[in-house]
Structure 1
């Protein structure tokens, strides 16, 4: 049992689960906009997530706090290096415009991590800003880049899906902020810090209403996708309702992050039957 827990922790610490979430959301974008599977785009997003998230998590730990680099961090660094090489490989298979936009997302991620301005904290520590930057980065990586690379014009469907995707990630991050409330720096001004846990839960639940209603405005609307979306929303609602500061990290890092993966698997199952 201890070995399984260590393997799970390593799997999570390497950001592989988060990368699967990103891969699943890219696949959902392919499905919604009827884009043929693009291996380069999907794997660029997958390996890019590993590189980006590991950089965000461990840069300050090693560079600023001088945390000793033991075996686990060495393995994570090796995985990140291999992922970085693969990101470079798939990057050069993308369209030029996709490459340019991906640099914009990379710049936003770097702003989130590194203190570019003298005597200022990085964007991750700017009061009240973190949740918006993270949600925007996720929308860019899982929706904007795949559509640009597939040369799909920006129609009303695109903007509706951008709003939906932003709401989804915003609500998922709210669950993280509820769980992390006790250990988050008060300076961060997270949503639960500003309005309390109960109101944060209400906000998350209310935001999922327009998420569902916007589905009716999509030109490719069909009841099968709506039904799957509703199941996904119900699951996410349950995670919001039962979130509290005493929950372990697995509540968010395993189960909440699994919601989009489960969403994608439902689509795959529905498409094959």
Structure 2
């Protein structure tokens, strides 16, 4: 059992689970509009997410402590290198337009973790996007929106100008709401300078905000021109699950509540689409 638990923890810590969620949301974007899914895009999103998230989580750690890396961290580094190789393979199969868009959102991810903004206080230093007060969650939602819905639809072989706007708005709102349990969990770790949503308005109001966001999610669902009629009902169910995940979230939550169960909602969304669609 201890071996299975260690393997499961590696699955979560190495960002494979979050990569599966990102690829699932990308596939959902194709299914919603009846577009044949690009395997190159799906696999690229999967491997690029592993690379991006591991870069954000472990940036600087290996640089300063490479001589004392634990076996787990070394394994994650090896997995990340493999993801770079496989991601590069699928990148060569993408259209130039897709590559350019992915590169743009990749740069946002890089700047999210890498200090580049000059700050002058008593001591001169640089900070990254993540540490800018109040914008962390919005940067994450922007990147997820871009990677999982904007790029797949804007480079699709059919014209979806009107649909892209609504799909992007809905995905942005969805990711914002999905991030709230993580924001509540991280209150005990985040610096007050980050000014996260729970830090600014409290746990109770954060949950109210989650309900409001999902109401907006449902509203956009009603006006979106979806190719699959069943997709509307499935999105209503997914929205209800997100509301429940926000309402039951708390600061001292289970280790796997957000990192597995909440993060797995996009995977369930895809499974429902594949089964009932």
Report what 2:113 is aligned to.
113
Contact 1:94-1:149 within 8 A present in 2 as well: no
Report what 2:237 is aligned to.
231
Report what 1:186 is aligned to.
192
Q: Distance in 2 between matches of 1:255 and 1:122?
A: 29
TM-score (norm 1): 0.95
Alignment of structure 1 residues 170-249 onto 2, 5 Å: 170-220=176-226, 223-249=229-255
Q: What are the Cα deviations for residues 37-62 of structure 1, in whole angstroms up to 9, with x where unaligned?
A: 21101000000000111111111322
Alignment of structure 1 residues 11-26 onto 2, 5 Å: 11-26=11-26
Q: Distance in 2 between matches of 1:186 and 1:227?
A: 40
State yes or no: 1:157 paired with 2:163: yes
Q: Distance in 2 between matches of 1:68 and 1:165?
A: 40
RMSD across aligned positions (CA): 1.5
Could you tell me how far 1:115 is from its partner in structure 2? 0.5
Report what 2:122 is aligned to.
none
Bigger mean CA deviation after superposition, 185-194 or 119-128: 119-128
Alignment of structure 1 residues 84-123 onto 2, 5 Å: 84-118=84-118, 119-123=125-129
Closer/same/farther in 2, CA of residues 185 and 159 from structure 1, 3 Å limit: same
Report what 2:138 is aligned to.
132
Could you tell me how far 1:214 is from its partner in structure 2? 1.1
Q: What are the Cα deviations for residues 165-195 of structure 1, in whole angstroms up to 9, with x where unaligned?
A: 0001001111100111112111110000000
Contact 1:97-1:148 within 8 A present in 2 as well: no
Could you tell me how far 1:146 is from its partner in structure 2? 1.2
Closer/same/farther in 2, CA of residues 17 and 32 from structure 1, 3 Å limit: same
Could you tell me how far 1:117 is from its partner in structure 2? 2.9
> Mind listing any 5+ residue stretches in structure 1 that lack a counterpart?
none
Bigger mean CA deviation after superposition, 223-232 or 173-182: 223-232
Q: Distance in 1 between matches of 2:79 and 2:20?
A: 15
Q: Distance in 2 between matches of 1:67 and 1:249?
A: 29
Could you tell me how far 1:249 is from its partner in structure 2? 2.8
Contact 1:47-1:84 within 8 A present in 2 as well: yes
Report what 1:261 is aligned to.
267
Contact 1:61-1:67 within 8 A present in 2 as well: no
Closer/same/farther in 2, CA of residues 156 and 23 from structure 1, 3 Å limit: same
Could you tell me how far 1:247 is from its partner in structure 2? 0.5
Could you tell me how far 1:245 is from its partner in structure 2? 1.1
TM-score (norm 2): 0.93
Q: State the number of aligned residues.
A: 271
SS at match of 1:120: strand
Q: Distance in 2 between matches of 1:256 and 1:87?
A: 26
